[in-house]
Amino acid sequence: MKTELLQRLVTARAEKRPVALVTDLGSGMQTLVGQDVAHGGFGLDREELAEVQKYLREDRSGIVEIGDSRLFIHSYNPPLRVIIIGAVHIAQALAPMASLAGYDVVVVDPRRAFATDARFPGITMNGEWPDDALKELVIDSRTAIVTLTHDPKLDDPALHVALRSPAFYVGSLGSRKTHGKRVDRLREAGYSESEISRIHAPVGLAIDAVSPAEIALAIMAQITQVLRREPSSSAAAA
Amino acid sequence: MTYENNIPEIAAALRAEGKRVALATVVSTWGSSPRPVGSQLVVDETGAMQGSVSGGCIEGAVVHQALETMKDGEPRVLSFGVADETAWEVGLACGGKVQVYVEAVE
């Protein structure tokens, strides 16, 4: 490997950008593929690039044989994270569920009565105001953000940051009516339709969930679906 | 794979100190190999290593090849069969195989 390419890899990791290092096992030539740019010794055709992006999205590494070449795709992804706004009852179920699914979890709530270690054993708590907390946590493209407080004072500042972040998922608890009012407020605050349309609301897959744990399950299922599906289908599903 | 180690960072730091460095990466596994694809080992010119590509059974051979790679600059793909005894301990009686790509950082 060229030292310069190694340096690019280290920089991408420090900035939490997902990248794949592609090595031609025959020639030893290497290319670093990011979300939209590639650097290195050889070019990849469209089919190869699509395969690399698929590996990166699925967080897989391995050898692919395309034409005459054997390529080793090494995915370097930042860790998956779920940031939950609101240390509420649903969060008590969602936090351990997300943790089991392999996510780093942070629960944000400035209200001391809610955000106690006793209610969230083993979960990282953040007592800052949601917009400050999200800025401090540096949202990347492997982060999901879920607002659960029902309270515009807390949910809206979080959405203001989330909608202009690279987060792969933004979801907000609330009925259609609640969400309608939320959309009005966001428009007033200057958010575009395409930014607002990033919000999954009502939050979670439609599985007729009733209890807090069931709602958490619906949310976790939706986060999984958004993470794993092909990007081409995202426009249709949104 | 997620950040399970900091081998690229260690390799970059060693290079910055002016050391010669080689990287070994698990590129394929078959059966019950001890470390998953993407696991890495970094070796410096003295043969000192950090990280792992197995539970310890092939590291010696990999370090030897890494030193060779630093000399001739030629990357290589090494293939190992994990000894049946070891594989039995990790729960598979038929043994495992692992391929490791070794390259110099230059």
Give the three-state DSSP class for A77: coil
Q: How far is CA B72 from CA A76, B22, B67, in A?
A: 28, 12, 9
Q: pLDDT above 70 covers what percent of chain B?
A: 80
Give me the CATH topology for the region A81-237.
Answer: Rossmann fold (3.40.50)
Give the three-state DSSP class for B15: helix
Helices (H), A73-175: 89-100, 130-137, 152-162
Chain B interface, Cβ < 8 Å to A: 1-3, 8-9, 11-12, 15, 23, 25, 27-28, 37-38, 74-75, 77, 101, 103-106
Q: How far is CA B35 from CA A126, A148, B11, B28, B32, in A?
A: 35, 39, 20, 10, 9
Look at A72 and B27 and tell me if their CB atoms are within 8 Å: yes
**Residue B33: half-sphere exposure toward Cβ, Cα within 13 Å:** 23
pLDDT score recorded for residue B16: 94
| CA A166 – CA B14 distance, rounded (Å) | 33
pLDDT score recorded for residue A145: 98
Read off the amino acid at residue A36.
D
| CA A4 – CA A26 distance, rounded (Å) | 21
| CA B11 – CA B8 distance, rounded (Å) | 5
State pLDDT tens for residues B69-106. 999 999 999 988 766 555 444 444 445 788 999 999 99
Domain boundaries, chain A: 3-76, 81-237
Question: How far A9 CA sits from the closest chain B CA (Å)?
Answer: 8
Please tell me whether the interface predicted TM-score (ipTM) of this complex is above 0.95.
no
Comparing CA positions, the residue from A176, A182, A133 lying closest to residue A158 is A133
Nearest CB to B37; choose among A9, A61, A77 = A61
**Length of chain B (residues):** 106
Q: Name the closest residue on chain A to residue B36, using Cα atoms.
A: A61
pLDDT score recorded for residue A34: 87
Query: Which residues, in sequence order, are bridge partners of residue A82?
Result: A105, A144
Q: Which of B10, B19, B21, B25 to mutate to test the interface with A (most CBs of A within 10 A)?
A: B25
Read off the amino acid at residue A79.
P
Residue B48 CB neighbours (<10 A): 11
Sign of the Cα torsion A221, A227, A231, A235 reads: positive
pLDDT score recorded for residue B82: 60
User: Is the pLDDT confidence value at B46 over 80?
Assistant: yes
Q: Residues A13, B8: contact at Cβ < 8 Å? A: yes
How big is the A-B interface in CB pairs under 8 Å?
63
User: Is the pLDDT confidence value at B68 over 60?
Assistant: yes
Chain A interface, Cβ < 8 Å to B: 1-3, 6-7, 9-10, 13, 23, 25, 28, 59-63, 72, 74-80, 102
Give the three-state DSSP class for B14: helix
Average pLDDT of chain A? 91
| CA A60 – CA A41 distance, rounded (Å) | 22
State pLDDT tens for residues A142-156. 999 999 999 999 999
Question: How far A143 CA sits from the closest chain B CA (Å)?
Answer: 13
Which residue positions in chain A have pLDDT lower than 70? 36-38, 40-41, 230-238
User: Is the pLDDT confidence value at B62 over 60?
Assistant: yes
